[in-house]
Structures are given as C-alpha cells and as structure tokens.
A and B are shown apart, each in its own frame.
Chain A
Amino acid sequence: MTKIVVVTSGKGGVGKTTTSAALATGLAQRGHKTTVIDFDVGLRNLDLIMGCERRVVYDLVNVINGDANLKQGLIKDKRVEDLFILPASQTRDKDALTLEGVEKVLEGLKEMGMEYIICDSPAGIEKGALTAAYFADEAVVVTNPEVSSVRDSDRILGILSSKTRKAERGEGDIPASLLLTRYSPERVERGEMLSVEDVKDILAIDLLGVIPESQAVLNASNSGAPVILDSESDAGKAYEDAVARFLGEQRPHRFLTANKKGLFGRLFGAQ
C-alpha cells in the first residue's frame, strides 16, 4: 500500500523542500521505500537539497511527456538505501504538469513498490500547488511561527478540504498535520514570534513536530545533505522525531523552551 503525502504551505520560503527532503530521507532510513518528487516546475531546488543536482538527466516533465520512462527519471540516493528522487524541470513551466500525467507517474511508482511518495509542493495556491496535492492521501503543512505564514497555511488547509481527489469523490478531508519550522523559543519569549500553542489554536490541526531555527539547516542545504542526516544537530533530531511521529510513534516535543538554563537545557536537549 502506497501512501502519497503532500508537503505544502501556501507561503514560500518556509521550509517545504527542506521538510520534504528530511521526511523522505527519514522514512527511507527506517527501511520504507520512498520517492520524493519536486513539483516546483521551473524553480527546481529539491535536487540541490538532496545533493543530486549533478546527476539529473531527466525530470518529472520528461517522464510525464514520455521522453523518458520512470526508471530513467528516478535518481537513486547514494547515502540511503530505498530513497529515490524525481526532480523538477527547470526549463518548463507549470502548465506542463497535467493531472493525467501526474497520475500516471504516481501509478508507476506504486507499481515499483514505493511505500511513500512525498510530493514537494510549490508555494502559492495555483495550479502547481493544486496538482501536487490532488492525489494526496495525507498532507504535512509547513508553517513558520508568524501571522502571514499561518494565514496562508490556513488557506491551504481550506483548499485541501475541497480540491483533492478524495474530497472531490466525497471521501472527506485528507488528514493534515502541522510542522512548525524555524521556531525560536527565545523570540517567542520576547513576543516576536507566535508560540506553538498560538499556531495550534489558529490552525486546529495535529502537531507533527517543531523544528528549531538552526544553522544546521543552512549548512545542510549548502552541503546537499538533508538535515536529518546531521543526527547531532537540533534540527536533525527534531526531524527524526517528526518522522517517528509520522509513523505513529508517540514522542514528546523538544526544543520548545529557550535554552538558557545551561546544564538543564543540555540535559533535556540531549535526552
């Protein structure tokens, strides 16, 4: 049984691609055969974050158009077994994505025995984002703790409840969970950021995880290794927790309080 997961947000720059890469890598690390697809046609980034940009031959649009078959389009990750990447096209625009074409690709991946397909959605609420979400069984909504990001996530949640295939077939809303990224407990304490509770209260969905603002994320992007592979970093640990929760494990949320107590903070941070 394949599960299709859309990673979406409405707003740009909140960490969708970082999250898609981390989630896909984390699932594959746990032995689940996973493909992560970059739906941001025209602005491809996922291959950079995944560190496979120098191995891209074909892309999603090539596969949809039949220029290449699925096996040729998929890039196998060198670090993690069972992890595949389907990059976006840099030269085409979003009109190249058709629902029929995307469905064909997803069916092909199912036949290959993928357990999870992670769809990295482009920002916005236009065709690209709708196409990425249409076939999803589940959504991960990435939000930063600030009002405009939260409002855009709210808008996306509304769209998900009516514009997915499941919703159109009357099978109800797809489950959606919240991943709060770039969280800075210090700034929350100073009142410069919304708290986890504020965001949960506004969006009224389950919390999958809180990823702290971290230099490790930038380092990971620059080095082309998903941050979850940096298992010593706070962000890496937080993503690891989120993956565990995604698979049904119960784990307490970490990195929610300012780390100023020295020893205590370290003890809790390292638990």
Chain B
Amino acid sequence: MTVAFEEKAVLEFKGRMLMMTVLLLKDLDPNTLHRQVSQRLDEAAQWLRDAPVVVDLADPGSADQVGLMAAVDTLRGLGVNLVALARNEHLDSDTAAMLGLGSISLAGGRDVPRSAEPAPAEQPAEPGHTLVIDQPVRSGQQIYSRGDLIVLAPVSTGAELLAEGHIHVYNTLRGRALAGVRGDQSARIFCQKLDAELVSIAGIYRVAEDLPEQHRKQAVHITLDGDAMRFADLK
C-alpha cells in the first residue's frame, strides 16, 4: 500500500542581481602577486576583505594551468574569498573546476569602480560627492563626508565634522572641523564665524586656545602650508 502525501517544498529558485568584486590579474608571478595583494588588503576595508571575488585574467591566452594554480593558492593563502573564475574561450568550466572554483561569464556585467578605502556605514556620501547639511549639527553628533562637506546651519560645541575634502560652514562653527581626514593636504576649511574647539587639515590641527585672536568669531579661510596652518580673512 502506498501512502500519498504532499511533501513540503524545502527549496525555491530565485533570480537575484548581485554585486561581485572582480580581481583582474595582469601577471601571475606568485611573489609579485603576494606582495601587491597583501599590501592592498592591508589598506582595504573589512567588506573588501570578506567580499566574494571572481578572478579574471587580463591575458587568458597566455595563462598555463600550473601558473594559474599557483596564483589561486597565493590568493587563498592571503585569505581572499575566491568563488569563481571568469569564463572565456581559454578558461572553461573544467579549468575552474580543477581549481575548485565556479565558472562565471562576465559578459553583460557592468563595471563599478571599487576603491580600497574603508567605508563605515555612517558615511552617507559616495566618494567624491559633496554632502550638504542644512540642519544644526548638535553636540554629540558626527558628520562624515567622503568628499566635501557643506553645512548651512550652526555647528555646536561637542559636534564633529569630518571630510575627506573641504569643509564649508556657512554659519557659526563651534565644534570640531577636520578636513582632508585621509591625508589630502590641499583640503581647506571655510567658515563664516570661527569659534571652533579644534580645526584640522590632513592631521595638522589647532585647538581653540591656539586659534589666532584676530580671526576669532570672524569669517575665515584655513589652508595648510607644509606643516603650518594658515588663516586668512574670508572677505
């Protein structure tokens, strides 16, 4: 006797668009590869270190299997999360399978630039974009811009502005302003009324006590000249 019952489905196929990081290798020399990849990973944000990576070769025709295996081993040894090999006429799914990788066609994909900069979640602006804030920045609040930062409202004591580029405050700056936080020495700070706790450009800073008296509560333009901060009237 057979008992018929309907089995509950335990799987479901879904189509989903995914962003993948593609590692384009221009040379397979294991030593060079090891040095350069580990250096890039050291600078990279955590998401890039954990991201699934597809290996693509700039010149697939010249790649031999031994060289490819060595390169893949090197990358795995560095903790790169390899998931697949880009498929083309020279590298088929069999080669990928031999390397323990999946095979993916990159045709039809679209390139998105990936930088190695850290990108914490609280950074609302994309690299190079200007972030504009029109609400007061209150004590305890922190604003980070990956490009320039423009604030149209007061910045309170205890608030912190950070920008990889310039900082403009079209109101009173009472908090801290740090421009060029990733080392851009050409970054500048502009503000309508300087009453800051601290100003900094590319790591060179002045605290409130050391601000030039004649610029206090005035409109100023702050630049970096070597290791010295220059204050000028904004007229």
Binding site for B on A (CB under 8 A): 151-152, 154-155, 157-159, 161, 173, 201-204
Is B192 positioned at the interface, with any CB of A under 8 Å from its CB? no
Category for how many chain B residues contact A:
10 to 19
A161 to B138, CA, bound (A): 10
Please list 12 pairs of residues, one from A and one from B, whose beta carbons are closer than 8 Å in the complex, sorted by A's number. Answer: A154-B138, A154-B139, A154-B156, A158-B138, A158-B140, A161-B135, A201-B154, A202-B154, A202-B156, A203-B136, A204-B136, A204-B153
Closest A residue to B172 by CB, please name it: A201
Residue of A nearest to B157 (CB): A151
Q: Which one of B135, B139, B153 contacts A173 once the chains associate, using CB atoms below 8 Å?
A: B135
Distance, CA A42 to CA B85, complexed state (A):
64
- Give the shortest distance, in Å, between A197 (CB) and chain B (any CB): 13
A203 proximity list for chain B (CB < 8 A): 136
Q: How far is the CB of A207 from chain B (nearest CB, A)?
A: 15
Complex contact A159–B172 (CB within 8 A): no
Chain B residues, Cβ within 8 Å of A155: 138-140, 158
Query: Which B125-153 residues sit within 8 Å CB-CB of chain A?
Result: 135-141, 153
A152-B172 Cα distance, complex, nearest whole Å: 18
B168 CB–A CB distance under 8 Å: no
B141–A158 touching, CB < 8 Å = yes
Given A158-B140, A159-B140, A201-B172, A151 contacting B135 (CB threshold 8 A): no
* B130 to A: closest C-beta gap in Å: 22
Q: Roughly how many angstroms separate A201 CA and B172 CA in the complex, as a whole number?
A: 9
Q: Is the CB of A151 within 8 A of B156?
A: yes
Q: Please list the residues of chain B having a beta carbon within 8 angstroms of any beta carbon in chain A.
A: 135-141, 153-154, 156-159, 172, 174
Q: Residue among A151, A159, A203 with the most chain B CB within 10 A?
A: A151
Closest to B171 in A: A204
Residue of B nearest to A125 (CB): B140
Smallest beta-carbon distance B134→chain A, Å = 11
- In the assembly, what is the distance between CA of A157 and CA of B136, in Å? 9
A157 in contact with B138 given A151-B156, A202-B156, A204-B154 (CB within 8 Å): yes
Nearest residue (CB) in A for B195 is A202
Bound form: Cα–Cα A203–B154 in Å: 8
Note all chain A residues with C-beta closer than 8 A to B154: 201-202, 204
CA distance A202 to B156 in the complex (A): 7
- Please report the C-alpha to C-alpha distance between residue A161 and residue B154 in the assembled complex, in whole angstroms: 15
Q: Is the pair A154, B172 in contact by a Cβ cutoff of 8 Å?
A: no
Task: Output the nearest chain A residue to B174 by Cβ-Cβ distance.
Answer: A202
Q: A159 — which chain B residues lie within 8 A by C-beta?
A: 138, 140
Taking CB atoms, residues of chain A closer than 8 Å to B137 are 158
Cα separation A149 to B137 with both chains bound (whole Å):
17
Instruction: Add 15 more A-B contacts to A161-B135, A161-B138 (CB < 8 A).
Output: A151-B156, A151-B158, A152-B139, A154-B156, A155-B139, A158-B137, A158-B138, A158-B140, A158-B156, A159-B140, A201-B172, A202-B154, A202-B174, A203-B136, A204-B154
